[in-house]
Chains A and B, each alone.
Chain A
Amino acid sequence: MLDESEHPSTAELQLAQKEVLGARADALLRERGHAIACRTDRMFAGLLLLEWAAALLAALLLTPLTWEGRESSTHVHVWSALVGGGLITALPVFLVWSAPGAVMNRYVIAIAQMAYSGLLIQVAGGRIETHFHVFGSLAFLAFYRDWRVLIPATIVVAFDHLARGYFWPESVYGVMAASPWRSAEHAAWVLFENVFLVQSCLRGTQEMRVLALQHAQLELTNERVEAEVAARSRELEITHRQLLDSSRRAGMAEVATGVLHNAGNALNSVNVSANVLSDIVRGSKIGGVRRVAELFEQNAGDLAGFLANDERGKQAPKYLCALAATLEDERRRAQEELTSLAKSVDHIKAIVGTQQALARVPGVSEVVPVADIIDDALRMGIGPASANGIHVERHCDVAAPVIIDRQRVVQILVNLLRNAKAAIAESATKEGRISIRSELVDKDRLQVEVSDTGVGIPKENLTRIFAFGFTTRKDGNGFGLHSSALAAKEMGGTLSATSAGPGRGSCFTLQVPVALQEVSV
Chain B
Amino acid sequence: MALASDHLFRVRALLVVPWLVLLVLGFLWVVRYEHTPGVHGDYSGTWPEGSGIPLAAGRHTLVKFCHPRCSCSAASIRELARAAAKAGDGLAAIVVFVDVFGLGERLHEAALWREAAAIPGVRILADAAGREAKLLAARTSGHAFLVDPRGSILFSGGITAARGHEGDNAGAGAIISFVRTGHSQVGATPVFGCSLFGDG
Residues of A within 8 A of B (CB): 62-72, 75-77, 80, 83-84, 87-88, 90-91, 94-95, 98-99, 102, 104, 108, 111, 115, 118, 122, 125-128, 160, 163-164, 167-168, 170-172, 175-179, 182
Contact = CB atoms under 8 A, between A and B. Distances in A.
Interface in B134-188: 141, 160-162, 164-170, 173, 185-186
B80 to A, nearest CB: 14
A164 B74 CA distance: 22
Contacts of B13: 104
Contact of A84 (B30, B100, B160, B194): B30
30 contacts: A62-B74, A67-B70, A67-B141, A69-B100, A69-B197, A69-B199, A70-B198, A76-B30, A83-B26, A87-B19, A87-B23, A90-B19, A91-B16, A95-B15, A98-B1, A98-B8, A99-B2, A99-B8, A99-B12, A104-B9, A122-B30, A126-B164, A127-B166, A164-B35, A167-B32, A171-B162, A177-B173, A178-B168, A178-B169, A182-B168
Nearest to B173: A178
A162 to B, nearest CB: 12
B134 to A, nearest CB: 12
B71 interface: yes
Contacts of A172: 161
A163 B71 contact: no
A167 B22 contact: no
Contacts of A62: 71, 74
Nearest to A75: B71
A63 B13 CA distance: 36
B12 A95 contact: yes
Contacts of B170: 175-179
Contact of A80 (B26, B141, B173): B26
A68 B70 CA distance: 9
B160 to A, nearest CB: 8
Given A122-B34, A171-B190, A69 B198 contact: yes
Could you tell me the dominant secondary structure of chain A's interface residues? helix
Contact of B166 (A75, A118, A125): A125
A87 B26 contact: yes
Nearest to A79: B30
B22 A76 contact: no
A260 B26 CA distance: 107
B12 A98 contact: yes
A108 B16 contact: yes
A171 to B, nearest CB: 5
B72 interface: yes
A88 B23 contact: yes
Contacts of A80: 26, 30
A94 B170 CA distance: 43
The winner among B160, B170, B173 for most chain A CB atoms within 10 A is B170
The winner among B11, B22, B28, B196 for most chain A CB atoms within 10 A is B22
B72 to A, nearest CB: 7
Contact of A128 (B12, B71, B167): B167
Contact of A70 (B15, B101, B168): B101
A112 B173 CA distance: 34
Interface residues of B, number: 55
Contacts of A83: 26
B75 interface: yes
Contacts of B75: 125-126
A237 to B, nearest CB: 45
Contacts of A126: 75, 160-162, 164-167
Contacts of B166: 125-128
Nearest to A77: B164
B2 A67 contact: no
B74 A125 contact: yes
Interface string B58-101: 00000000010111101100000000000000000000000011
Contacts of B44: none
Interface in B1-31: 1-3, 5, 8-9, 11-13, 15-16, 19-20, 22-23, 26-28, 30-31
B19 A69 contact: no
A175 B184 CA distance: 12
Given A80-B26, A125-B166, A98 B2 contact: yes
A91 B15 contact: yes
Given A63-B72, A83-B26, A164-B31, A69 B195 contact: yes
Nearest to B5: A99
A255 B75 CA distance: 108
Contacts of A76: 30, 33
Contact of B198 (A63, A71, A182): A71
A145 to B, nearest CB: 22
A84 B20 CA distance: 12
B26 A84 contact: yes
B38 to A, nearest CB: 10
A486 B165 CA distance: 101
A63 B164 contact: yes
A423 B190 CA distance: 131
Given A115-B23, A182-B167, 15 more contacts: A62-B74, A63-B72, A65-B69, A65-B71, A67-B69, A68-B195, A91-B19, A98-B3, A98-B11, A115-B27, A125-B166, A126-B165, A128-B167, A178-B173, A182-B168
A270 B186 CA distance: 143
B45 interface: no
B104 interface: no
Contacts of B27: 115, 118, 160, 163
B99 to A, nearest CB: 11
A111 B22 CA distance: 13
Contacts of A98: 1-3, 8, 11-12
A69 B196 contact: yes
A304 to B, nearest CB: 136
The winner among A66, A72, A75 for most chain B CB atoms within 10 A is A66
Contact of B100 (A63, A70, A168): A70
A179 B173 CA distance: 11
A172 B190 CA distance: 12
A177 to B, nearest CB: 7
